[in-house]
């Protein structure tokens, strides 16, 4: 049972006509107070459908959704939980006829097609690929195609969330560049691709995120009828993580605030982790001037005094400020030191096992890295499994094509549709049979070598296999294979279904049945659900626009093969086993907005903790509201950004740490090279400071 502090109770039970701005570092109880404020409003008889819950990202709504979906909720309307993008989409859909005419769509009398990240990248690839292959666009750029497409889309999104015309993207980037003249051509190509994509959207009633937001803020919000609809529908606002939202969202709320009966805005100090996505903590803080009262909280309900002191020392070391004296007898950090990287992972797992044996719940342990590569993810997860420790992982940038469950489903889909001419290699088929039939790789490979004929995509019957080989494979596995093969053969002989319908049918009738790989594997079921949702959205986007010879299934497979990332599915954040060790990139953990008793930071010597990912087609800091037009981006700016980024990251992680952080370091990093990054140097300063005060 939640027992609020006097300060929290004051905010929760504030008058129904108050507009409050609460700021504080992570762990001071802001989100908990926001959840209880919603509970209080509902208890006071406020209609649920008059409450607007706004966050920058859907994953940040989870504590609120736990309340809104709990059995204790009284029947009635539903609280609207939204992001600025979700609100924009709803309004574009509701007032489409007016929006289409004002925005210049070529087919205003036809319905809109809302694009996901995946489908936007698909259409971008459709337009840009010929320019790359036939006209030499981006010839000096060496990144993967999918990253190239996504950065052009990111430029359009930046223009929309900051509030400048998309036609100025290239000019803004070019004016800040100082270096190789070839880069200027890259910016010009990026501008042309962005303009080409925008015109294609207007010609075909396609709305990506950037176009939805521009229509909402520039056209619909300015319309008296639309504004009256919104202000009349929503009378109470709870706006959490204001600092992570985009400037246009802040502009909207600033104009909307006087019309709300009550508003509670929650601001996390020293955060701003989404600035590379257009988040703007400075414009978020300006909203405090439009509220009746500004409240600042400093007392953490999460971190111990030792962890807070470590955070202060470490941030001071990163920013080259004077370090405060160490406090507390119990150290808040501990090093795990080895020579080789695998040894470091082994020792980390032993430490985790020891903590769990001592009584710590697995959910109170997180394993973090700046980036979570496939090999690192596998290495950590494999060691946890071997120790019998439950684990879960979340990596939003991981493509669906990389998930074993989705690779299995897509390989079986290719076998069921020979007209696609996909011809999966034998290893992919063996992997699919291993997962689908719930067997080991050795038997799956042996079975595949005998029954799979890649040239004509034929699958032989189990009866055709020699008896002695049947015994090696086992008759139980042979029976499961025969059922799956017969199902695929029957499907081949019937009228083909849309891919998402096919996946649902195959999942329900075969591979989710007892004995098969998807029967009790909840992680595989989650991935399967995300894949079906992805295909469905792709089909909805593509149905109005299909050129000659278009086959949706074949095109979807090709899209994933191109490396297009899957859109983020909320289900992947909410359906996991919560009583498990979390393995995640550091920023993903921050955006989950949850504390942990113990954190393990892998490879603190890596430069990845401070350096931003190379983005040759965009520049998030130049394409921001605070960059002075015409100013050159210098090396000193890059250094300053690295310092600010690292200090925010470290402060945010430690604000979500209750007891201790373990620094797992090997002399030779994951790639086999010695690492001496900025984070490790800062820890060394802290150690020297502690020695000097002993």
Give the ranges where 516-626 is alpha helix by DSSP (H).
Answer: 522-542, 552-561, 570-574, 586-592
What backbone torsions phi and psi does residue 687 show, to the nearest 5 degrees?
A: -65, -40
Average pLDDT over residues 310-335: 85
Q: Which of the four pLDDT bands, split at 50, 70 and 90, describes residue 548?
A: low
Average pLDDT over residues 626-634: 92
Q: Tell me the residue ranges of DSSP E strands in 55-205.
A: 80-82, 113-114
3-state secondary structure of 687: helix
CA atoms within 13 A on the CB side of 457: 17
pLDDT in tens, 231-241: 999 999 999 99
Q: Which of the four pLDDT bands, split at 50, 70 and 90, describes residue 568?
A: very low
In angstroms, the Cα distances linking 200 to 106, 118, 195, 205, 536 are 10, 16, 9, 8, 22
Instruction: Please tell me the predicted confidence (pLDDT) of residue 144.
Output: 84
Query: What DSSP string runs through 293-350?
Result: EEEEE---SSS-HHHHHHHHHHHHHHTTPPPPPP--SS-SEEEEEESSHHHHHHHHHH
- Ramachandran class of 626: left when φ > 0, alpha when ψ lies in -120 to 50, beta otherwise: alpha
Average pLDDT over residues 337-350: 94
Instruction: Please tell me the predicted confidence (pLDDT) of residue 271.
Output: 84
Tokens of 1: 């049972």
Instruction: Please tell me the predicted confidence (pLDDT) of residue 546.
Output: 65
Instruction: Please tell me the predicted confidence (pLDDT) of residue 364.
Output: 96
* d(C-alpha 305, C-alpha 294), whole Å: 26
Instruction: Please tell me the predicted confidence (pLDDT) of residue 577.
Output: 57
Instruction: Please tell me the predicted confidence (pLDDT) of residue 71.
Output: 76
Does position 394 have pLDDT exceeding 90, yes or no?
no
pLDDT in tens, 266-319: 999 988 888 888 899 999 999 999 999 999 998 888 888 899 999 999 999 999
Instruction: Please tell me the predicted confidence (pLDDT) of residue 566.
Output: 53
DSSP3 helix / strand / coil % (the chain, rounded to 5): 55, 10, 35
Instruction: Please tell me the predicted confidence (pLDDT) of residue 248.
Output: 97
Average pLDDT over residues 108-113: 92
Q: Which helix (H) or strand (E) holds 262?
A: strand 262-268
Instruction: Please tell me the predicted confidence (pLDDT) of residue 570.
Output: 46
In angstroms, the Cα distances linking 316 to 307, 324, 682 are 14, 8, 9
Does position 569 have pLDDT exceeding 60, yes or no?
no
| Nearest alpha-carbon partner for 646 in 683, 614, 675 | 683
Average pLDDT over residues 168-179: 94
Q: Which of the four pLDDT bands, split at 50, 70 and 90, describes residue 66?
A: confident
pLDDT in tens, 120-134: 998 999 899 999 999
pLDDT in tens, 415-426: 999 988 888 999
* d(C-alpha 477, C-alpha 617), whole Å: 51
Strand partners, 367: 583, 600
Average pLDDT of the residues of the chain: 90
Contact 119, 541 (CB under 8 A): yes
Contact 516, 437 (CB under 8 A): yes
Judged by average pLDDT, the poorest of 67-76, 177-186, 304-313, 493-502 is 67-76
Q: Which of the four pLDDT bands, split at 50, 70 and 90, describes residue 92?
A: very high
């Amino acid at each position: 049972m939640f027992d609020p502090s006097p300060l929290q109770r004051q905010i929760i039970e504030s008058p129904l006509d108050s507009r409050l701005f609460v700021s504080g570092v992570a762990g001071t109880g802001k989100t908990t107070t926001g959840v209880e404020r919603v509970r209080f409003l509902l208890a006071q008889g406020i209609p649920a459908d008059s409450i607007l819950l706004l966050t920058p990202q859907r994953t940040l709504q989870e504590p609120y959704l736990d309340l809104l979906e709990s059995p204790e909720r009284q029947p009635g309307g539903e609280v609207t939980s939204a992001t600025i993008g979700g609100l924009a989409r709803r309004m574009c859909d509701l007032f489409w006829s007016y929006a289409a005419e004002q925005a210049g769509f070529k087919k205003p009398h036809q319905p809109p097609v809302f694009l996901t990240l995946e489908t936007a990248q698909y259409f971008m690839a459709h337009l840009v690929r010929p320019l790359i292959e036939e006209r030499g666009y981006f010839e000096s750029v060496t990144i993967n195609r999918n990253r190239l497409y996504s950065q052009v889309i990111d430029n359009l999104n930046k223009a929309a969330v900051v509030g400048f015309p998309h036609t100025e993207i290239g000019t803004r980037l070019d004016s800040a560049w100082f270096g190789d003249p070839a880069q200027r051509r890259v910016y010009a190509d990026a501008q042309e691709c962005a303009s080409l994509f925008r015109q294609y959207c207007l010609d075909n009633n396609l709305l990506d995120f950037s176009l939805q937001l521009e229509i909402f803020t520039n056209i619909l919000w300015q319309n008296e009828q639309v504004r009256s609809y919104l202000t009349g529908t929503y009378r109470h606002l709870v706006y959490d993580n204001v600092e992570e939202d985009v400037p246009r969202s802040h502009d909207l709320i600033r104009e909307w605030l006087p019309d709300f009966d009550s508003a509670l805005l929650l601001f996390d100090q020293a955060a701003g982790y989404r600035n590379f996505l257009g988040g703007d903590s400075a414009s978020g803080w300006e909203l405090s001037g439009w509220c009746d009262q500004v409240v600042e909280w400093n007392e953490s309900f999460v971190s111990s005094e030792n962890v807070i002191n470590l955070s202060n020392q470490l941030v001071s070391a990163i920013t080259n400020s004077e370090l405060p004296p160490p406090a507390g007898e119990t150290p808040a950090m501990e090093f795990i030191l080895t020579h080789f990287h695998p040894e470091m992972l082994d020792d980390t797992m032993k430490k985790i096992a020891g903590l769990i044996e001592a009584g710590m719940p697995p959910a109170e342990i997180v394993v973090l890295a700046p980036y979570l590569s496939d090999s690192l993810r596998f290495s950590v997860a494999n060691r946890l499994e071997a120790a019998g420790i439950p684990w879960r992982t979340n990596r939003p940038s991981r493509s669906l094509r990389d998930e074993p469950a989705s690779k299995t489903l897509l390989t079986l889909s290719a076998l069921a549709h020979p007209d696609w001419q996909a011809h999966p290699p034998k290893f992919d088929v063996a992997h699919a049979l291993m997962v689908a039939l719930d067997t080991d790789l050795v038997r799956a490979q042996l079975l595949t070598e005998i029954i799979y004929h890649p040239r004509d995509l034929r699958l032989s019957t189990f009866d055709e296999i020699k008896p002695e080989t049947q015994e090696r494979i086992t008759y139980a596995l042979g029976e499961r294979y025969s059922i799956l093969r017969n199902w695929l053969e029957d499907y081949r002989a019937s009228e083909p279904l849309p891919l998402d319908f096919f996946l649902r049918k195959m999942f329900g009738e075969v591979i989710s049945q007892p004995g098969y790989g998807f029967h009790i594997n909840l992680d595989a079921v989650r991935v399967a659900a995300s894949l079906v949702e992805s295909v469905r959205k792709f089909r909805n986007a593509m149905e109005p626009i299909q050129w000659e010879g278009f086959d949706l299934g074949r095109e979807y497979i090709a899209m994933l093969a191109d490396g297009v990332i899957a859109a983020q599915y909320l289900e992947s954040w909410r359906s996991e086993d919560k009583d498990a060790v979390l393995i995640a990139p550091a920023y993903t953990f921050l955006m989950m907005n949850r504390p942990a008793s113990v954190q393990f930071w892998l490879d603190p010597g890596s430069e990845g903790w401070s350096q931003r990912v190379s983005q040759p087609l965009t520049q998030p800091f130049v394409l921001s509201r605070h960059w002075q037009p015409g100013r050159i981006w210098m090396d000193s700016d890059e250094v300053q950004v690295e310092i600010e980024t690292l200090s925010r990251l470290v402060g945010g992680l430690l604000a979500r740490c209750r007891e201790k952080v373990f620094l797992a370091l090997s002399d030779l990093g994951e790639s086999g090279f010695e690492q001496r990054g900025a984070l490790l140097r800062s820890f060394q300063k802290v150690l020297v400071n502690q020695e000097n005060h002993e």
